[in-house]
Amino acid sequence: YAHKHGVIHFDLTPANIMVGEFGEVSVIDWGLSASRGSGSSKTGIHENKGGIFVFSSSQYRAPEHIEAGSSEPGPPSDVYSLGAILYEALTEQPPYYKETLSESIAAMKQGDLDPPELKAPEAGIDPVLSKLCIQALDPDPEKRPSMTDFKDTLGRFLRREREWEIIRFGEQGMEIDPDEWIT
């Protein structure tokens, strides 16, 4: 709803998502939100004489917003944050977690990430959720799914709808190759 109205949250963390007793979801703490075209860039980054200081929750911050002078927040920023939250919910570990902050940031920028099912093999993570995490955590904002695609995929999973690939044969579909069929 917010994205359709040009508003980006820009600080989605587990602490800012409230789930009610009956599954209702509320997003709170819109303090860092920005309206596209408002001219206000709330990147959450301040330059310091000693380097870069990132406030808010950097483990949920998209890599394009880690350095000073980064791009304006947009829907891909929030999709990244939701991917990081989902990854942590599945694996009980934040994505890109390394020994030091600089190693974590380098891994984030390079997209050096173990899929959730490899990070927590004992958890029995569904491939649909794993794929959604990996897509949402892509370092390139253009390659991340839209918020609608993220929401729809997660909704289909929760409703236990299966992903299907439909292949049509015939005049307007694929050719039938008799060698592919066992008689």
Residues with catalytic roles: 11
Helix (H) or strand (E) holding 73: none
Q: Give the tokens for residue 169.
A: 């044969």
Residue 135 CA to residue 102 CA, distance in Å, equals 23
Residue 96 CA to residue 105 CA, distance in Å, equals 8
Helix (H) or strand (E) holding 132: helix 127-136
Answer for the pair 129, 90: CB distance below 8 angstroms, yes or no.
Answer: yes
The bridge status of strand 34-35 relative to strand 25-27 is unpaired
Answer for the pair 84, 137: CB distance below 8 angstroms, yes or no.
Answer: yes
Residue 139 CA to residue 76 CA, distance in Å, equals 10
Answer for the pair 91, 116: CB distance below 8 angstroms, yes or no.
Answer: yes
